[in-house]
């Protein structure tokens, strides 16, 4: 008898809330997971396809149960492929995968994995475009902007699966107290200013509104004479968990820190504007965003400032619903525009095919199944089995079920359609896109962001030049 085997070391597994985007997020300890061995009927002559889980989410016991269900259903529905599930703990998955690939024995499919995790193996992913064509795969089942987001210098390296579009989370209570109109719910709608004028919902408009929502101890907003910026009790805006220069920049315009030659650091003009905008929001004469020390204080929920009910807005991927349990007056608004164009972010997990696979056609058949039929088990869930991954399905036909679930979970939220509409504004290339010596380069970005968030009086042009020079050194290693 052939068997599906699940490679699991007996250890405590961390349930990753946002492994997809490679950022630090709250995690909860899970029970010890023991090795599992689930028998399935043998299929003589079938081709083995190995599915490697561990580079992102997927190692939680509840997720493993759903993944095994997916494997069993796939193997039962056809006779040509034996799908084999391999699960490796997140902390060791990168090393295990590196060893397997180096030995020429890499798995056929890896995932779910986000952009950050994928970049550790840049150059190792199969371009699936020819297999999409030869199999007649209809990509119109997804938002076309999401499909295009996976067109990189390596080719078409994936298909949309589990996605988290960004929205402007706003606190309706704080807007009501200030007598301000809410951010628009539909792309193309104007924002109504206090004087009744209608303007585009741009970063300039968000800035003006954020200043009106930033209140000091005397009740003055940051535009009023006598405002005390050393005694702020409420802020208009926060970047929340998106405090990296790549993230800041991508909300203004898609771009990359790597020039077209693939080895030189650059700073897109829109990204520089976003960095300077952020710095002025914190340290300018009319501030509307707290510095790092304030956001990390207990008054602002220890680094989760929007959840403190003292910040009116944040621009954030929708996974942030994990962490706003203390705010039951939030809703979702559209993303602001920059120079007339809307840009945003879509955090995403998908599956990649290793370019060294010896069975690319069969691996693509499995990939198609994972991003279509398996979505019901892995993302939507059912009464008998909870969803394995807490994302929005990229599969359009499955999104209504997601909307119905969220309407029950967040009965006060009126703008769930706004969330779905955000899928049309992915960061392409991803804010977490490839950089040479990726991990060190990303960390240098964190250092730059922390400098801006903690230090008044900087010469930003000088600091940006230093940042780029350091990136060039890192890229050249």
Residues 89, 95, 100, 106, CA torsion sign: positive
- Residue 47 to residue 383: CA distance in whole angstroms: 33
Q: Which helix (H) or strand (E) holds 119?
A: helix 115-119
Query: Per-residue b/e over 317-328, b at no fewer than 16 CB within 10 Å?
Result: bbbbbebbeebe
List of E strands, 286-434: 311-317, 330-333, 337-338, 341-342, 346-353, 392-393
> Two tokens at 346?
């879509």
Percentage of the residues of the chain whose pLDDT score is greater than 70: 91
Question: Is residue 36's pLDDT more than 80?
Answer: no
Q: What is the mean pLDDT of the chain?
A: 91
User: How distant, in Å, are the alpha carbons of 174, 175, 214, 346 from that of 228?
Assistant: 19, 21, 11, 37
- Residue 172 to residue 97: CA distance in whole angstroms: 46
Left (φ > 0), alpha (ψ -120 to 50) or beta: where does 381 sit? left
Instruction: Give domain status of residue 202, yes or no.
Output: yes
Which pLDDT belongs to residue 40?
54
Instruction: Give domain status of residue 402, yes or no.
Output: no
CB 239 within 8 A of CB 248: yes
What is the arithmetic mean of pLDDT over 50-67? 95
Give 52's pLDDT tier (boundaries 50, 70, 90): very high
Same domain, residue pair 146 and 95: yes
Which pLDDT belongs to residue 41?
57
Q: Which helix (H) or strand (E) holds 101?
A: helix 90-102
CB 140 within 8 A of CB 331: no
Task: Give the bridge partners for 5, in sequence order.
Answer: 37
Same domain, residue pair 101 and 180: no
DSSP one-letter code for 125: B
CB 11 within 8 A of CB 33: yes
Task: Give the bridge partners for 15, in sequence order.
Answer: 28
The angle subtended at Cα 453 by Cα 447 and Cα 457, nearest 5°, is 105
CATH number of the CATH domain containing 184: 3.40.190.10
CA end-to-end span of the chain, whole Å?
Answer: 49
- In terms of residue numbers, what domain contains 136? 3-163+349-394
- Residue 334 to residue 165: CA distance in whole angstroms: 11
- Residue 399 to residue 162: CA distance in whole angstroms: 11
Can you give the three-state secondary structure of 313-342, one letter per residue? EEEEEHHHHHHCCCCCCEEEECCCEECCEE
Same domain, residue pair 81 and 58: yes
- Residue 191 to residue 202: CA distance in whole angstroms: 9
Number of independent structural domains in the chain: 2
- Residue 239 to residue 245: CA distance in whole angstroms: 11
- Estimate to the nearest angstrom the gap between the alpha carbon of 59 and the chain centroid: 19
What is the arithmetic mean of pLDDT over 338-352? 96
> Two tokens at 46?
């079938």
Give 22's pLDDT tier (boundaries 50, 70, 90): very low
Q: Which of 328, 361, 394 is where one domain is finished?
A: 394
DSSP one-letter code for 260: T
Which pLDDT belongs to residue 42?
64
Instruction: Give domain status of residue 407, yes or no.
Output: no
Question: Is residue 166's pLDDT more than 90?
Answer: yes
- Residue 113 to residue 314: CA distance in whole angstroms: 25
Which pLDDT belongs to residue 382?
84
What is the arithmetic mean of pLDDT over 211-224? 98
Percentage of the residues of the chain whose pLDDT score is greater than 90: 87
> Two tokens at 338?
């920059």
Same domain, residue pair 11 and 83: yes
Question: Is residue 153's pLDDT more than 80?
Answer: yes
- Residue pLDDT, tens place only, 354-379: 999 999 999 999 999 999 999 999 99
Q: Report the 10 Å Cβ neighbour count for 359.
A: 16
Instruction: Give domain status of residue 399, yes or no.
Output: no
CB neighbours of 453 closer than 8 A, spacing ≥ 6? 243, 282, 291, 292, 295
Same domain, residue pair 133 and 214: no
Same domain, residue pair 370 and 455: no
Instruction: Give domain status of residue 173, yes or no.
Output: yes
Same domain, residue pair 334 and 381: no
Same domain, residue pair 50 and 179: no
Q: Report the 10 Å Cβ neighbour count for 214.
A: 28
CB 343 within 8 A of CB 251: yes
Instruction: Give domain status of residue 176, yes or no.
Output: yes
Same domain, residue pair 180 and 315: yes
Q: Which helix (H) or strand (E) holds 15?
A: strand 11-16
- Residue pLDDT, tens place only, 250-259: 999 999 999 9
The whole model's pTM is what? 0.90
Between strands 337-338 and 341-342, the pairing is antiparallel
Same domain, residue pair 101 and 212: no
Find tokens 């950089």 and name the residue: 435
Instruction: Give domain status of residue 217, yes or no.
Output: yes
Which pLDDT belongs to residue 385?
84
Nearest in space to 137 (alpha carbons), one of 105, 115, 160, 117: 160
CB neighbours of 396 closer than 8 A, spacing ≥ 6? 141, 142, 143
Phi/psi at 394 (5° precision): -70, -25
Same domain, residue pair 242 and 368: no
Same domain, residue pair 157 and 189: no
Give 387's pLDDT tier (boundaries 50, 70, 90): confident
């Amino acid at each position: 008898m052939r068997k599906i085997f699940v490679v699991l070391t007996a250890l405590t597994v961390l349930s990753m809330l946002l492994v997809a985007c490679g950022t630090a997020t709250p995690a909860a300890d899970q029970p010890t997971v023991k090795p599992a061995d689930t028998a399935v009927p043998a299929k003589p002559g079938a081709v083995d396809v190995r599915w490697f889980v561990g580079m992102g989410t997927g190692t939680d016991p509840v997720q493993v149960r759903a993944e095994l269900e997916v494997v069993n259903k796939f193997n039962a529905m056809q006779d040509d492929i034996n799908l084999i599930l391999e699960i490796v703990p997140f902390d060791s998955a990168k090393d295990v995968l590196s060893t397997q690939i180096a030995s020429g024995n890499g798995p056929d499919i890896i995932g779910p994995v986000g952009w950050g995790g994928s970049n550790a193996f840049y150059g190792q992913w199969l371009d699936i475009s020819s297999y999409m064509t030869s199999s007649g795969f209809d990509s119109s089942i997804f938002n076309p902007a999401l499909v295009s987001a996976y067109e990189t210098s390596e080719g078409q390296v994936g298909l949309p699966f589990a996605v988290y579009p960004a929205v402007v989370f706003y606190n309706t209570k704080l807007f009501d107290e200030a007598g301000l109109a809410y951010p628009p719910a539909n792309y193309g709608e104007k924002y109504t200013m206090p004087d009744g004028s209608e303007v585009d919902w741009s970063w300039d408009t968000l800035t003006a509104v954020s200043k009106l929502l930033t209140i000091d101890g005397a009740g003055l907003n940051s535009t009023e004479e006598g405002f005390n910026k050393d005694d702020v009790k409420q802020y208009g805006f926060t970047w929340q968990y998106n405090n990296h220069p790549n993230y800041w920049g991508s909300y203004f315009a898609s771009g990359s820190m790597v020039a077209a030659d693939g080895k030189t650091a650059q700073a897109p003009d829109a990204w520089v504007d976003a960095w300077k905008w952020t710095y002025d929001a914190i340290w300018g004469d009319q501030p509307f965003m707290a510095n790092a020390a304030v956001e990390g204080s207990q008054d602002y929920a220890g680094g989760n400032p929007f959840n403190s009910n003292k910040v009116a807005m944040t621009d954030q991927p929708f996974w942030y619903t994990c962490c706003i349990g203390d705010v039951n007056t939030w809703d979702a608004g559209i993303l602001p525009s920059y120079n007339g164009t809307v840009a945003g972010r879509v955090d995403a997990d998908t599956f990649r095919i290793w370019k060294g696979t010896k069975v690319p056609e069969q691996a693509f058949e499995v990939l198609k199944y994972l991003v279509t039929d398996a979505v019901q088990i892995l993302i939507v869930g059912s009464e008998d089995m909870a969803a394995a991954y807490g994302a929005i399905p990229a599969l359009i036909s499955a999104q209504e079920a997601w909307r119905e679930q969220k309407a029950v979970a967040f009965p006060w939220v009126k703008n769930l359609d706004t969330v779905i509409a955000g899928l049309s504004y992915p960061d392409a290339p991803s804010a977490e896109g490839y950089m040479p010596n990726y991990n060190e380069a990303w960390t240098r970005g964190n250092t730059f962001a922390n400098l801006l968030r903690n230090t008044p009086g900087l010469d930003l042009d000088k600091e940006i030049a230093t940042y780029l020079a350091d990136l060039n050194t890192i890229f050249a290693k």
